[in-house]
Amino acid sequence: MATTAPDARRPLTATTWADLPHGLLASQQRLGWEAEADLAHQLAEVTHLTGEQARDLVSLAAAGLPLILTWRTRLNDERGRPGCGRVETTRATVLVTQVQPPLPHTSYPGEVRVRYTGFGHGVYLSQIVDVQVPQTERTYSDPDEG
């Protein structure tokens, strides 16, 4: 009888990133929470994202819902040479249209395609600093209290 380590996670489905050759596309049919959980766990294993960040990224991207993404970009110098030492940090509420994990046996670091304020571009997974779910805030007031 084979035993597994106490912290080993059993997949809920047979779904892997190999089943999605173009990555997770927001426009595709929903996968179900079990498959999304498996994909998020696999993403967290091969990136610096925490399990919670990977779950939020995968589930919100699959549903086409917005998320708050923070990423860092190394800027070029005035002559266009990369790596001038300055780093720009961007925090934006975005729609993730595609999640592509790092490809095994290559130097491709994985990427998310984002859209916000009419602008779209790619962000490498290695540049992502934080993934957050937008919060909803409700306040109530009594109409008699001016």
| 10 in any annotated domain | no
State how far the Cα of 24 lies from the Cα of 45, in Å rounded to an integer.
Answer: 17
Q: How many domains does the chain have?
A: 1
Tell me, what's the pLDDT at 56?
95
Tell me, what's the pLDDT at 80?
64
- 106-109 LR contacts (CB < 8 Å, sep 24+): none
Mean per-residue pLDDT pooled into runs of 10, the chain (146 residues): 58 81 76 90 92 94 93 78 78 94 86 92 94 89 76
| 16 in any annotated domain | no
Domain containing 91 equals 21-133
| 144 in any annotated domain | no
| 7 in any annotated domain | no
Tell me, what's the pLDDT at 115?
94
| 12 in any annotated domain | no
| 8 in any annotated domain | no
| 53 in any annotated domain | yes
| 78 in any annotated domain | yes
Cα atoms in the Cβ-side hemisphere of radius 13 Å centred on 83: 0
Tell me, what's the pLDDT at 85?
67
